[in-house]
């Protein structure tokens, strides 16, 4: 049994882990940068250690500082949350060398599934369906053109070590591929320190479906349903939901069986998520995240499990506390990621929160570290809260979300709430058919319509000036 856990993260996910630990009787240590001195998670932890300045590279990504904090505070284990060092195999190995448990998969699994090329190769070996594409990294434009000819246009070039849309380029013909290939490699190098890229067939209108899973050290693996994360802009998720309303019961069961069998063969332990593109009734492997997901709360609400506490139990060496037959959906859940940003331009909007009011009521959950007077830093991700609603039906969950967002007040900064309320009323969202490119197309059409109106409004003024002359 762990007596003390250090949380190598910040913001709402650090707070989420602290609350899980409290319920289990485990003490917590918060690490923080100077920019997070007054963060809620720092106030709520049993102990806190400042590990560096505001820069992530000098604080939350600095392995030596975090491990030193764990050693000094006598922490038994480290929970990495998501992002930062959560999928860093070297960090997991360094903790292991210091006798500190990493609450996550083995370093081997992190490496194998974290590298996009190796992950795809592994998926094929394990019998997981994949998108047609290159067998490995592509070194030259000649290799890229040859592969594109084999699989057919359109194609997408992706960073081997990447995610979040960086190092991704789409090409519909040879000329576009010649132009985009070096750009993809350059972006991959800057973002991840690795310029290797690979290629896949580009699916035109797929859904983004992901399968939540967790395994223990005894070879047991349980899949905990699926999530639909198709409402996204530039590969950044905006609204997530579970279960995926677009899937039939058989489609859901079939893909979960494939994932569970694959992870049992891999002897995977800890929480993980396998992400798929789903088009024309077929699933295609995208990637695996060997960590907790931002959107894990929708799964928790639908299936009645505490994924963070289960991560901790597995790391302690216990068997999973539930079996596959125990995983039954009880409701439908939605999650809106609330970002401190301009809802029209998407420009980050850090600043001081003058007044804060969280929504409430039956079927509403808010994961956030906001409070009145809190200064939102400019140096980190703009997400400041997650609003989760759940009800017996999808329609009820959507209605709850709309009014929950209406109740939410974050005075002093702009947020994404107005956009999300707008999206909740769109026919494509209401019927669940929206593909991953829908939001980008919607925003583009909206901006074009706005520009057209502005031009039309300006024409009478131009005519009046001309007449006065």
What string of DSSP letters covers 263-300? HHHHT--EEEEEEEEEETTEEEEEEEE-S--TTHHHHH
- Is the pTM above the cut of 0.85? yes
Write out pLDDT tens, residues 43-83. 999 999 999 999 999 999 999 999 999 999 999 999 999 99
The conformation of residue 222, written as its DSSP 8-state character, comes to: E
Angle at the Cα of 56 (from 55 to 60), degrees rounded to 5? 130
Other Cβ atoms within 10 Å of 135 Cβ, number: 12
Residue 409 structure tokens: 């007040």
Q: What does the pLDDT profile of the chain (469 residues) look like in tens digits?
A: 999 999 999 999 999 999 999 999 999 999 999 999 999 999 999 999 999 999 999 999 999 999 999 999 999 999 999 999 999 999 999 999 999 999 999 999 999 998 888 998 999 999 999 988 998 899 999 999 999 999 999 999 999 887 666 779 999 999 999 999 999 999 988 888 899 999 999 998 999 999 999 999 999 999 999 999 999 998 899 999 999 999 999 999 999 999 999 999 999 999 999 999 999 999 999 999 999 999 999 999 999 999 999 999 999 999 999 999 999 999 999 999 999 999 999 999 999 999 999 999 999 999 999 999 999 999 999 999 999 999 999 999 999 999 999 999 999 999 999 999 999 999 999 999 999 999 999 999 999 988 888 777 776 666 666 665 5
Is 213:273 a contact under the CB 8 Å cutoff? yes
Per-residue burial over 53-87, b if 16 or more Cβ lie within 10 Å, else e, is eeebeebbbbeebbbebbeebebbbbbbbebbbbb
SS3 call for 60: coil
Residue 33 structure tokens: 């940068």
User: What is the per-residue pLDDT for 116?
Assistant: 80
Alpha carbons 91 and 13: distance in angstroms, whole number: 19
Alpha carbons 134 and 132: distance in angstroms, whole number: 7
Is 13:27 a contact under the CB 8 Å cutoff? no
Q: What ranges in 369-468 are assigned the alpha helix state H?
A: 394-407, 417-424, 427-430, 438-468
User: What is the per-residue pLDDT for 462?
Assistant: 66
Catalytic residue among 291, 313, 337, 365: 291
Residue 121 annotated to the active site: no
Is 447:438 a contact under the CB 8 Å cutoff? no
For tokens 């694959």, name the residue: 262
Closest by CA to 164, choosing from 31, 321, 301, 287, is: 287
SS3 call for 31: strand
Backbone angles phi, psi at 56, to 5 degrees: -60, -40
User: What is the per-residue pLDDT for 82?
Assistant: 96
Write out pLDDT tens, residues 11-52. 999 999 999 999 999 999 999 999 999 999 999 999 999 999
Nearby residues of 126 by Cβ (< 8 Å), 6 or more positions away: 261, 262, 265, 266
User: What is the per-residue pLDDT for 183?
Assistant: 95
User: What is the per-residue pLDDT for 253?
Assistant: 98
Q: What ranges in 24-136 are assigned the alpha helix state H?
A: 40-44, 63-72, 89-97, 107-114, 116-125
SS3 call for 469: coil
What is the signed CA dihedral for 63, 64, 65, 66, rounded to 10 degrees? 50
Total residue length of the chain: 469
Angle at the Cα of 227 (from 224 to 229), degrees rounded to 5? 155
User: What is the per-residue pLDDT for 453?
Assistant: 85
The three-state (H, E, C) secondary structure of 391-419, written as one string: ECCHHHHHHHHHHHHHHCEEECCCCCHHH
User: What is the per-residue pLDDT for 466?
Assistant: 64
User: What is the per-residue pLDDT for 136?
Assistant: 85
């Amino acid at each position: 049994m762990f007596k003390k856990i250090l949380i190598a993260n910040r913001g709402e996910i650090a707070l989420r882990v602290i609350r899980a630990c409290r319920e289990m009787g485990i003490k917590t240590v918060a690490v923080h940068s100077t920019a997070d001195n007054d963060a809620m998670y720092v106030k709520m932890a049993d102990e806190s250690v400042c590990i560096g300045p505001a820069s992530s590279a000098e604080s939350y990504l600095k392995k030596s500082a975090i491990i030193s904090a764990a050693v000094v505070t006598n922490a038994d284990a480290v929970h990495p949350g998501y992002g930062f060092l959560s999928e860093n195999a070297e960090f997991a190995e360094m903790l292991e060398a210091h006798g500190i448990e990493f609450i996550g998969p083995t370093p081997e699994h992190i490496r194998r599934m974290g590298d996009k090329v190796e992950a795809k190769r592994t998926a094929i070996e394990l019998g997981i369906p994949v998108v047609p594409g290159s067998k490995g990294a592509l070194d030259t434009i000649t290799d890229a053109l040859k592969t594109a000819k084999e699989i057919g246009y359109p194609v997408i070039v992706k960073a081997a070590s990447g995610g979040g849309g960086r190092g991704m380029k789409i090409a519909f013909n040879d000329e576009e591929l010649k132009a985009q290939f070096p750009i993809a490699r350059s972006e991959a190098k800057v973002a991840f320190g690795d310029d290797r890229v690979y290629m896949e067939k580009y699916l035109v209108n797929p859904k983004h479906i992901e399968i939540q899973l967790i395994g223990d050290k005894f070879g047991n693996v349980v899949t905990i349903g699926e999530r639909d994360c198709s409402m996204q802009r530039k590969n950044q998720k905006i609204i997530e939901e579970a279960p995926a309303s677009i899937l039939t019961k058989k489609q859901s069961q079939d893909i979960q069986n494939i994932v569970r069998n694959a992870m049992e063969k891999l002897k995977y332990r800890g929480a993980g998520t396998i992400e798929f593109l789903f088009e024309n009734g077929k699933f295609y492997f995208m990637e695996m995240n060997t960590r907790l997901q931002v959107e894990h709360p929708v799964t928790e609400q639908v299936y009645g499990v505490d994924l963070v506490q289960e991560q901790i139990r597995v790391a302690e060496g216990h068997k999973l506390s539930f079996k596959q037959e125990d995983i039954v959906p009880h409701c439908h859940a939605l999650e809106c990621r609330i970002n401190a940003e301009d809802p029209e331009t998407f420009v980050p909007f850090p600043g001081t929160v003058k007044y804060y009011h969280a929504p409430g009521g039956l079927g509403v959950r808010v994961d956030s570290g906001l409070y009145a007077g809190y200064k939102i830093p400019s140096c980190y991700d703009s997400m400041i809260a997650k609003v989760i609603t759940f009800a017996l039906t999808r329609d009820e969950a959507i209605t709850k979300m709309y009014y929950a967002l209406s109740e939410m007040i974050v005075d002093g900064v702009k947020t994404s709430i107005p956009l999300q309320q707008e999206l909740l009323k769109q026919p494509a969202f209401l019927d669940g058919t929206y593909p991953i490119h829908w939001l980008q197309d919607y925003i583009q059409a909206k901006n074009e319509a706005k520009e057209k109106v502005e031009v039309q409004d300006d024409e009478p003024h131009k005519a009046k000036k001309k007449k006065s002359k």
